[in-house]
Amino acid sequence: MKFKRTVQIEKGEKLDITPLIDVVLQLLIFFALTSSFVFNPGIKVDIPEYTTAESVKPTDLMVTITKSNEVFYKDKYVSPIEGFKQLRLEFRKDAAATKEPHLIIKADVGVPFGKVVEIMLLASDEGIYNQTIATRPKEEIE
């Protein structure tokens, strides 16, 4: 049984690809808007470079130390009064609430090392043993 062709393509006719372009652009916009972006919220600090920098997980706890030695925990200022009493309470609460808490210390390059060690020891005293110092990927390996 032979079927008769009902559509004929005449010479000079062109295929309209405008709808195809519209769909492709809409898909591109959709994926660009819904993809997860790596975003480091908080205070602007100049962290050191290192060759093996890893990305931050949303469940990680973050302490930020600025160049002027101001300490922020979860983007909130922490007063150094009484040896960071409020920070100690926050660490204790988060250590109890999380199975394996992971603390990331995001310290500016100009922060004295002693300040970073003070925060690390404070976290260890409250049960947060998994600690990392934040770095950014090194652009060029020398």
The yes-or-no verdict on residue 2 having pLDDT over 60 is: yes
Q: How many angstroms separate the CA atoms of 104 and 41, rounded?
A: 13
- The answer to whether the pTM exceeds 0.75 is no
pLDDT at residue 53 in the model: 54
Per-residue model confidence (pLDDT) at position 14 = 77
- List alpha helices for the chain, DSSP H: 18-34, 85-97, 113-125
C-alpha 99: how far from chain center: 21
User: Residue 142's pLDDT band (boundaries 50, 70, 90)?
Assistant: very low
Q: Which residue has the higher pLDDT, 135 or 44?
A: 135
Read off the pLDDT of residues 86-112 as tens digits, 9 standing for 90 and up. 888 999 998 898 888 899 898 888 899
Q: Are 123 and 131 in contact (CB under 8 A)?
A: yes
Neighbour tally for 84: CB within 10 Å: 19
